[in-house]
């Protein structure tokens, strides 16, 4: 499992330099999860999620999406929901594969900062 305080600290270490526009401009140390939903979901999925879990994505507007993981029992794991001031409407999401089969370079950076390995 990923400890939320450790996650926030790791994301502060990553900072805005690992984000893509427009997320770069929204990131702050006070809200370290802003813009990191894809990477955090990817790390959780590859290192912590039970078998049968699926990544989900929802459109927030024309240019933005939000990612999270849904367990086989229907429970939702969204470690970056605190980046929003309003509740997230998970019912608008759909299952969607990540962009790469294996974890991304940014995902590996975050996993390393969290001390995660495939053996955890």
pTM of the model: 0.94
Question: Do you know the residue count of the chain?
Answer: 120
> Is residue 50 a contact partner of residue 72, using CB atoms and an 8 Å limit?
yes
3-state DSSP: the chain helix, strand, coil percent, rounded to 5? 35, 15, 50
Per DSSP, what are the bridge partners of residue 76? 70
For residue 31, count other CB atoms closer than 10 A to its CB. 16
* Residue pLDDT, tens place only, 23-68: 898 999 999 999 999 999 999 999 999 999 999 999 988 788 999 9
pLDDT tens digits for range 70-88: 999 999 999 999 999 999 9
pLDDT at 117: 75
Q: Where in the chain are the domains?
A: 4-113
> SS3 of 1, please?
coil
């Amino acid at each position: 499992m990923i400890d939320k305080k450790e996650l926030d600290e790791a994301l502060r270490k990553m900072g805005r330099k690992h984000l893509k526009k427009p997320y770069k401009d929204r990131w702050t140390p006070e809200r370290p999860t802003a813009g990191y939903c894809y990477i955090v979901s990817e790390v959780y999925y590859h290192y912590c999620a039970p078998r049968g879990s699926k990544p989900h994505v929802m459109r927030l507007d024309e240019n933005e999406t939000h990612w999270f993981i849904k367990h086989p029992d229907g429970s939702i794991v969204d470690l970056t929901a605190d980046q929003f001031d309003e509740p997230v409407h998970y019912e608008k999401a759909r299952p969607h594969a990540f962009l790469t089969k294996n974890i991304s370079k940014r995902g590996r950076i975050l996993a390393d900062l969290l001390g995660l390995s495939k053996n955890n």
